[in-house]
A and B are shown apart, each in its own frame.
Chain A
């Protein structure tokens, strides 16, 4: 085991925590894919594989007072936020012990106790809600930041422009996090945006912006922290573009006719997990036994999650119309 060399700003425990979170997301997603092929998970399944550094890095900048709105590709954010893997797996199984009682499935994870407000299936649909959450914080003089994750596809939608405009106009504490994985489902960025430098869109709304390599978890962490700090200082919203890539198809249903296998392989060479392991290894913060230990622990956590889901009950059909409306106070 190489002697640890103290690297300014990089604590070994913190580094291992980041790595474990990324590996947890990776193995969880792989297991979800497997379970989908045998019909345990149904409907749509959008995997986060390749983008782990974005969720893990960004989440470091957020506290429990902050709120999160995400998209239908939100398993990474949910796990990084601390939602138990079991409740997420059970949700994808459709079981009543899922985080949304089995009612939402893969695309609609909610956990109000952790201020995780979904899980949205309409592209761009979460941005107005994020603006509203930030408005509520501001009006109630709460210190929170609302982190809003969305993809490059959402930048096409009117809501993106309306939301950036409104947030900037009213100086709302929204951290707009654009996970640019270069494709809006099957359409490449160059084919759906006239201006492909997404961070520059912020100029139109006079709000600060930055872009970062989304495959480097430390870079993401640093940028997200800086952006969140700017928002917290009362500077109004911030747009952070995170440049990443998804190694898998858009969803389980996608034959990927729109991108070259070669391109995928090139990006896989920048695998955020492998890159981080290599970096830590170089700095002497990590050895092979650490990785094995993490993988073993993660494997157990994923197996537990599957067991939790398998054992979960189905919501009784009689409860179908429960919670369409809030029940009247007794």
Chain B
């Protein structure tokens, strides 16, 4: 079927003017074809004898379909090749020239209007958010991530507390759902004898001014931080499909908010701080978390999170990892339980520590070592 009009892709044979056995000469009209422009005569470009007709009148076929076979007379000029696909050179993908952004004035934030709006709604100071957009621009995802780590109470006046809360819940919910969906969690638990730690704490606090007294929670945090030195693969983040080891140990501590949300801001370099400093930092974090004055870097810096539900009366916690972290440690309440010491049953304050970890990054063997280290460290509280 010849191409008879521009853009023709198919034609219908209306009538054959020749039949098998007829001689044809170059230039003769051999058929009538219907196209969308009307009826057009089809001429033949070869001379010879028609052998077979392959397409009957009434049939619609695509251009290029062989309509008939002709036995050419010897010495006839070669007929041109069947319609070849035009080798259209593939156009190189249109590369959008990177927007030539004039240099932002110093102090001017590079943030999209959408991200700015969201930051205002979630009560996050965009100046503290690290942007992952072009040229370091802050995008909606960056704000969401900063909020997903936690939910800071908005310093700015929200439309209604309920609205803000609902949005907070939504953001946290989305992050938690994603975590459960994408991270293959495994769980380990161990019960730790806290007697040495508590005894030491009592003695230690007697020597401290009231305002400087330590809570046992700080011992737990320090133990976790030091244990991470031994099992560093739990102190990392999962980004872009791979593990990025933490440069330092920043322990996120889960703080419940009166409004019902939860934030887990970082205690930076928890492994290096003395217990007193750690206590002060912790108190400050809790205060600021409840007052809505956290820095977004505090929300995005944790390399692991510790959550304690002891006050709620829960013995064992099975937490969900906060992405992009790869582990989370839970502590239940301290309870007096029968304990075997030297073959004798005594009453000891014990606590159940749990580890939920990302199985892409670590396995039970390593997780177990971590919990064992926490236990071991807590048996020598004076060295924390």
- A contacts, CB < 8 Å to B: 30, 33-40, 42-44, 249, 252-255, 257, 299, 314, 316-318
Which residues of chain B are near A36, meaning CB under 8 Å? 3
Known: A40-B80, A299-B77. A255 touches B37 (CB 8 A): yes
- Inter-subunit contact A253/B89 (CB<8 Å): no
9 contacts between A and B (CB under 8 A): A34-B80, A36-B3, A39-B84, A40-B80, A40-B84, A42-B6, A43-B6, A249-B40, A253-B37
Report whether B89 and A316 are in contact in the complex, using a CB–CB cutoff of 8 Å.
yes
- The reply on B27 being an interface residue by CB < 8 A is yes
Cα A318 to Cα B192 in complex, Å, equals 70
Candidate in A40, A253, A314, A318 with the most chain B CB atoms within 10 angstroms: A253
Let me know if A38 and B82 touch, CB within 8 A. yes
User: B45 in the interface, Cβ–Cβ < 8 Å?
Assistant: yes
Q: Are B3 and A39 in contact (CB under 8 A)?
A: yes
**Given A39-B3, A314-B89, A317-B91, are A255 and B80 also a contact pair (CB < 8 Å)?**
no
Nearest Cβ in chain A — how far from B53, in angstroms?
Answer: 18
Q: Which residues of B from 12 to 59 have beta carbons under 8 Å from A?
A: 27, 35, 37-40, 43, 45
Interface Cβ pair total, 8 Å cutoff: 55
Instruction: Give the residues in chain B near A37, CB-CB below 8 Å.
Output: 2-4, 45
**Residue of A with least CB distance to B36:** A253
Q: Does the CB pair B89–A38 fall under 8 Å?
A: no
> How many angstroms between the C-alpha atoms of A252 and B90 in the bound complex?
28
CB distance from B31 to the nearest CB of A (A): 12
Chain A residues lying within 8 Å of B81, measured Cβ to Cβ, are: 38
What number of B residues sit within 8 Å (CB to CB) of A?
A: 27
B contact face: mostly helix, strand, loop, or mixed: loop
Does B5 belong to the interface (CB within 8 Å)? yes
- Flag if B91 contacts A257 (CB, 8 Å): no
- Cβ of B83 within 8 Å of any chain A Cβ, yes or no, is yes
The residues of B with any CB-CB pair to A shorter than 8 Å are 2-6, 27, 35, 37-40, 43, 45, 63-64, 77, 80-84, 86-87, 89-92
- Asked whether A35 and B80 contact (CB < 8 A) given A255-B40, A316-B89, A317-B91, the answer is yes
**In this complex, what residue of B is CB-closest to A94?**
B86
Residues of A within 8 A of B89 (CB): 314, 316-317
Given contacts A255-B37, A255-B38, contact A39 B5 (CB under 8 A): no
Question: Which chain B residue shows the least CB distance to A257?
Answer: B38
Beyond A252-B5, A257-B38, 8 extra complex contacts between A and B, CB < 8 Å: A38-B64, A38-B82, A39-B83, A40-B80, A253-B4, A314-B89, A317-B90, A318-B92
Q: Which chain A residues border B40 with CB–CB below 8 Å?
A: 249, 254-255
Query: Does B92 lie within 8 Å of A317, measured CB to CB?
Result: yes
Decide: A39 and B63 in contact? CB cutoff 8 A: yes
Compute how far the CA of A299 lies from the CA of B4 in the bound complex, rounded to whole angstroms: 24
Minimum C-beta distance from B42 to chain A (A)? 8
Contact indicator B45/A34 (Cβ below 8 Å)? yes
Q: Nearest Cβ distance between residue B79 and chain A, in whole angstroms?
A: 8
Instruction: Name the residue on B nearest A42 (C-beta).
Output: B6
User: Complex: how many Å from CA A66 to CA B110?
Assistant: 64
- How near does chain B come to A82, taking the closest CB pair, in angstroms? 26
Instruction: Tell me the bound Cα distance from A255 to B42 in angstroms.
Output: 11
B5, B84, B90: most-surrounded residue (chain A CB, <10 A): B5
**Top 10 closest pairs, chain A to chain B, by CB:** A37-B2, A255-B38, A253-B5, A39-B83, A34-B45, A38-B83, A317-B91, A255-B40, A39-B3, A314-B89
Query: With a CB–CB cut-off of 8 A, which chain A residues contact B82?
Result: 38
Contact yes or no, A39 B37, CB < 8 A: no
Contact B86 A44 (CB under 8 A): no
